[in-house]
Amino acid sequence: MTAVPNVSVGSGAAGAAIFPDSDSRKYRYFEPRSKRATHYEDVTVDVQPDPERYLLQDWIISFPNGKGAYTKDNTAALSANWHAFRAPDQEWERTHYQRQSKIEAMVQAVIANGRKSGAPKSFDKAWIKILQNHLGAWKHVEFGLGTSLMQAQRYGYTQMINNATLTNSSYKLRLAQDITLYLAEIGMDVQGFDDAAGKRVWLEDKGWQGTREAIESIMGSADYLEQYFATNIVFEPLVGELFRSGFLMQTASSNGDFITPPVISAAEADYERNLANTIDLMHLLATDNQHAAHNKKLFQGWVNKHVALANKAAAGLQPIWSQPHSKPVQYADARAQSVERVKKILGELGLTLPKE
């Protein structure tokens, strides 16, 4: 059947007639960050409504305490304009799937090719134990952060904040699963590999309890912005990068393992994006024209709390650096680098690293 248009101009196409706003081909209800709205802005801004913008009738269902679906007091931070934030990674569904899918393809190809060449069998024996116990424990760190951010994405005051938190959660949960399946697969090639050891270590090993406490403190926070802040501004540079880049990625190859670094490398690239998003949001709040002082004080409090936890976590992990046969990197060097990194991040926000 061919549709026959029943209109005066015989076409439903742009430009078929000229009349008021026949050329109005841009969303005109929000201010783009730059001169022209990006695709990300077009598909993101104002989808989550706000009674202070366009929600004429206010929230029409409320919680028993009278609060509507989204309120500003889900965080202690304050903002003169919560809507100003745009995620620097400009992520929307298409870019998210493209990136996640490419990572999965890369990770699986690396693992499959490595296994085909029998690589796991030639990993150093001590290194295999490290992967089994410590990378096995680490997967729970990523999972904890992923579930914590999944919780946090319910509470932000705008679509931009919540979607950036959502993609962060998605990246973390993917990584947790990637590590889980990677260990299960190489475990099939290595005799005596105990796939359940990682969780035991995570729950019981003394060295890991500081990390577990740091993660559970983030998971247990009822302030969504504190969860996002603590994850990317504090825990990731002081513990996440320390363990992933400062240990696994640098130590693996000299112990015969060329598979683990690319599996983990995706996480570092994920973090660069999530860090950029978080810094941008926190910078807006720390320089807010009405609430900068309040926010900086609040953030410094979060820094003090979570840095103390992260320092304890890092110290607990220190002995792992001496466990491999080949030790191309020292804990002290890796730690110094991560302290430098966190100082730079905090410097961007005008915050200081508390003394140990």
Partner 1 sequence: MSGTLTLNKITAQRGISVGEAAKKIADLGWNPSYVQEAMTFPTDYKIAKAPKDPMKQVLRSYFPMQEEKDNRVYGALDAALRGDMFRNVEPRWVEWMKLFLAIIPFPEISAARSMAMVGRLAPGEDLRTGFTMQMVDEFRHSTIQMNLKKWYMENYIDPAGFDITEEAFGKCYATTIGRQFGEGFITGDAITSANVYLTVVAETAFTNTLFVAMPSEAARNGDYALPTVFLSVQSDESRHIGNGHSMLMSMLKELENHLLLERDMRYAFWQNHAIVDAAIGTFIEYGTTNRDKNKESYAEMWHRWIFEDYYRTYMLPLEKYGIKIHHDDVQTAWKRLTEKHYVHRVAQFFAVGWSANFWRIEAQTDKDFEWFEHKYPGWYAQFGEFWKWYEKLSHRGQTNILFNSDVGYVYPHRCWSCLVPCLIREDIVTDEIDGKLYTFAHEIDRWTAVEAFAGEYQGRPTPAMGRFSGRREWESVYHNVDIADAIKDLGFVRTDGKTLVAQPHLRFDEKEMWTLDDVRGHILKSPLLTLREMSPADREAHLADYRKGFTINPCN
DSSP character at residue 34: S
Choices 79-87, 111-119, 297-305, 348-356; region in contact with partner 1 by CB under 8 A: 111-119
SS (H, E, C) 213-273: HHHHHHHHCCCHHHHHHHHHHHHHHHHHHHHHHHHHHHHCHHHCCCCHHHHHHHHHHHHHH
In terms of Cβ atoms closer than 10 Å to its own Cβ (0-12, 13-18, 19+), residue 292 is middle
Question: Which residues have a Cβ under 8 Å from the Cβ of 348 and sit 6 or more positions away?
Answer: 279, 283
Closest contact distance (angstroms) between CB of 30 and partner 1 is 8
Rounded distance between C-alpha atoms, residue 354 and residue 305, angstroms:
10
Residue where the block lists tokens 């201010």: 31
Is 64 among the residues that bind partner 1 (CB under 8 A)? yes
Choices 119-127, 139-147, 239-247, 341-349; region in contact with partner 1 by CB under 8 A: 139-147
Closest contact distance (angstroms) between CB of 101 and partner 1 is 4
- Residue with Cβ nearer partner 1 (53 or 72): 53
Size of the site for partner 1 (CB under 8 A): 108
**Mind giving me the DSSP string for 284-341?**
HHHT-TTTHHHHHHHHHHHHHHHHHHHHHHHHHHGGGGGSSSS--S-HHHHHHHHHHH
Rg (CA), the chain: 24
Distances (CA, A) of 194 to 131, 185, 189, 203: 10, 12, 12, 15
Closest contact distance (angstroms) between CB of 329 and partner 1 is 28
Choices 8-16, 270-278, 282-290, 328-336; region in contact with partner 1 by CB under 8 A: 8-16
Is 25 among the residues that bind partner 1 (CB under 8 A)? yes
Tokens of 313: 């976590």
Is 105 among the residues that bind partner 1 (CB under 8 A)? yes
Residues 146-185 that bind partner 1 (CB under 8 A): 146-147, 150-154, 159, 162-163, 166-167, 169-170, 173-174, 176-178, 180-181, 184-185
Closest contact distance (angstroms) between CB of 53 and partner 1 is 7
Closest contact distance (angstroms) between CB of 9 and partner 1 is 5
In this structure, are residues 258 and 266 in contact, taking their beta carbons and an 8 Å threshold? Answer: no
Residues 268-307 that bind partner 1 (CB under 8 A): none
- Binding to partner 1 by CB under 8 A, coded x per residue (else -) over 71-100, reads ---------------------xxx-xxx-x
Residues 29-58 that bind partner 1 (CB under 8 A): 29-30, 39, 42-49, 53-58
The only residue of 80, 188, 269, 293 in contact with partner 1, by rule CB under 8 A: 188
Closest contact distance (angstroms) between CB of 90 and partner 1 is 11
Residues 222-261 that bind partner 1 (CB under 8 A): 222
- Residue with Cβ nearer partner 1 (56 or 289): 56
Task: Count CA within 13 A, CB hemisphere, residue 91.
Answer: 24
Question: Which residues have a Cβ under 8 Å from the Cβ of 14 and sit 6 or more positions away?
Answer: 22, 25
